């Protein structure tokens, strides 16, 4: 296994580009190479009036999966700060707190990021692979700690956001992988997202092009239907024009089950380190 492993890998991109499958495949890659790694994602973006979800953690198809719930994460943070489970449970139920979390941009991500760093502190060997919100939400998440540190000039929240910011912006701790499909529109959106992220953080941000048919069908172009042939040629042109800006190019998997697709991708993911 490479020695330059980070502790937090963030996968983001426009919806439908295969972030979840690729994130889980990367966890498999890390585990197969001797690391303790977990797939993590957020269950919700806001606090609903009626709350029934709980943070869930389990081993699914051979890898550790964590689905964070916002209310649970908020309650845990307040409980640690006030050393009272009863008070924390009351605070997160108040209309004021719920409105604050739901209305202030990035407050939800601040809570989530605090929980992620707590998990890393509890297990110093754990590598977290975050299946992050798509595009615009990812920008809000990355800049949330900076915004809150500017708002609170001192005190507990300032200190906590400072810790989060130092980790989130540490190139040896965090890396961001932007996922794109092999189309001009998807690629352009990925390039714009990368530029936006680079304006907000000094960590490494790279683009992976997922689900490419061209490597599989380039030898059979003459036998393809016109529509599919045009798609393959467009993919080829895109991959050749921007290959120097692409961290990794992943072929389309011919398998159908999610676990099989993840296993199929594992052998191609070393560049994501």
Distinct helix (H) and strand (E) counts, the chain: 11, 8
pLDDT of 51 above 90: no
What integer is the mean pLDDT of 170-178? 96
pTM here? 0.93
Contacting residues for 155 by C-beta, under 8 A, at least 6 apart: none
- Cβ–Cβ under 8 Å, residues 209 and 239: yes
CA dihedral 144, 148, 150, 155 (to 10 degrees): -150
Region for residue 209 given its phi and psi (left: phi exceeds 0; alpha: psi -120 to 50; beta: otherwise): beta
pLDDT digits (tens, 9 = 90+) for 150-169: 777 777 777 888 888 888 89
Instruction: State the pLDDT confidence band at 126, using cuts at 50, 70 and 90.
Output: very high
Instruction: State the pLDDT confidence band at 1, using cuts at 50, 70 and 90.
Output: low
- Cβ–Cβ under 8 Å, residues 250 and 211: yes
pLDDT of 189 above 70: yes
- φ, ψ of residue 246 in degrees (nearest 5): -100, 125
Instruction: State the pLDDT confidence band at 45, using cuts at 50, 70 and 90.
Output: confident
Contacting residues for 29 by C-beta, under 8 A, at least 6 apart: 266, 269, 270, 272
Give the whole-angstrom CA distance, residue 40 versus residue 202. Answer: 23
79's enclosing H/E stretch is helix 70-82
Contacting residues for 256 by C-beta, under 8 A, at least 6 apart: none
Looking at residue 120, the DSSP 8-state letter turns out to be: H
Identify which has the larger pLDDT, 135 or 132.
132
- φ, ψ of residue 38 in degrees (nearest 5): -140, 140
pLDDT digits (tens, 9 = 90+) for 196-208: 999 999 999 999 9
Beta bridge partner(s), residue 126: 36
CATH of domain 8-272: 3.40.50.300
**How many residues does the structure list for the chain?**
273
Tell me whether strands 63-68 and 36-42 are parallel, antiparallel or unpaired.
parallel
Give the whole-angstrom CA distance, residue 23 versus residue 29. Answer: 10
- Helices 95-103, 85-93: axis angle to 10 degrees equals 70
């Amino acid at each position: 296994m490479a020695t330059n492993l980070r502790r937090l890998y963030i996968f983001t991109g426009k919806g439908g580009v295969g972030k979840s499958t690729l994130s889980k495949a990367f966890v498999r890659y890390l585990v197969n190479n001797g690391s303790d790694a977990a797939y993590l994602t957020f269950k919700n973006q806001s606090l609903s009036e009626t709350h029934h979800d709980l943070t869930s953690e389990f081993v699914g198809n051979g890898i550790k999966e964590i689905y964070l719930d916002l209310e649970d994460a908020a309650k845990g943070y307040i409980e640690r700060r006030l050393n009272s489970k009863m008070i924390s449970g009351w605070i997160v139920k108040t209309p004021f707190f719920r409105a604050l979390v739901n209305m202030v941009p990035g407050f939800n991500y601040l809570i989530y990021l605090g929980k992620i760093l707590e998990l890393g502190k509890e297990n110093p060997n754990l590598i977290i692979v975050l299946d992050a919100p798509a595009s615009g939400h990812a920008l809000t998440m990355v800049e949330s700690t900076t915004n809150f540190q500017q708002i609170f000039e001192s005190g507990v929240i300032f200190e906590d956001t400072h810790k989060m910011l130092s980790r989130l912006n540490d190139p040896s701790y965090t890396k961001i992988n932007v996922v794109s499909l092999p189309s001009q529109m998807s690629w352009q959106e990925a390039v714009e997202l990368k530029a936006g992220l680079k304006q907000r953080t000094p960590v490494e941000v790279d683009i992976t092009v997922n689900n490419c048919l061209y490597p599989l069908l380039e030898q059979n172009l003459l036998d393809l239907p016109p529509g599919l042939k045009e798609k393959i040629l467009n993919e080829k042109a895109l991959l050749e024009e921007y290959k120097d800006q692409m961290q990794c190019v992943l072929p389309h998997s011919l398998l159908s089950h999610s676990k099989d697709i993840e296993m199929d991708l594992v052998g191609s993911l070393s560049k994501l380190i």
